Amino acid sequence: MKKIIFFLGILFFHSYICLAQTNGSRNGDKVEKVKIAFFTQQLNLTASESKEFWPVYNSYFLKLKNAWHSNIGNRPAFDEKASALKDQYRDNFVHILHSHERAEDVFKAEKAYRKMLKEELKNRKQQPPAKTKN
């Protein structure tokens, strides 16, 4: 009997951990969907532009994220790498979006998106926690 209870306890605990990880993934998916909608609206992306834009932008963003992680605590080094990445990807964005102005708008949209996320997080921290029924 003790073995069965122990086994059920382990099974329950394992299921709980898996469920917690799944919810985190869902939140990441929600943030990604909001990001796609925000950029699509800000840049007025057509369907064909969007199809070309997202793989290039995701590559840029991944390299930017890696630069951030490899230069934690060294802001000047990160800024230098970020600037080099922008220069490197600017031509790709010009090719996809067909203008230098729209390519620059990618970086403006990125800054506006980060600002929007910060405001959203700030607002959520200021809200009292929702009451739950027990």
In this prediction, residue 10 has a pLDDT band, given cuts at 50, 70 and 90, of very low
What local confidence, expressed as pLDDT, does residue 17 receive? 47
Question: What distance in Å separates the CA atoms of residue 21 and residue 15, rounded to the nearest whole number?
Answer: 10
H helical segments located in 44-74: 47-70
SS (H, E, C) 66-118: HHHHHCCCCHHHHHHHHHHHHHHHHHHHHHHHCCHHHHHHHHHHHHHHHHHHH
Question: What distance in Å separates the CA atoms of residue 134 and residue 128, rounded to the nearest whole number?
Answer: 18
Q: In the chain, pLDDT over 70 holds for what percent of residues?
A: 75
Average pLDDT over residues 84-110: 96
Is-above-0.85 flag for pTM?
no
Residues 56, 59, 62, CA angle at the centre, nearest 5°? 150
Question: What distance in Å separates the CA atoms of residue 108 and residue 116, rounded to the nearest whole number?
Answer: 12
Q: What is the pLDDT of residues 23-74, one digit of tens each?
A: 555 677 888 899 999 999 999 999 999 999 999 999 999 999 999 999 988 9
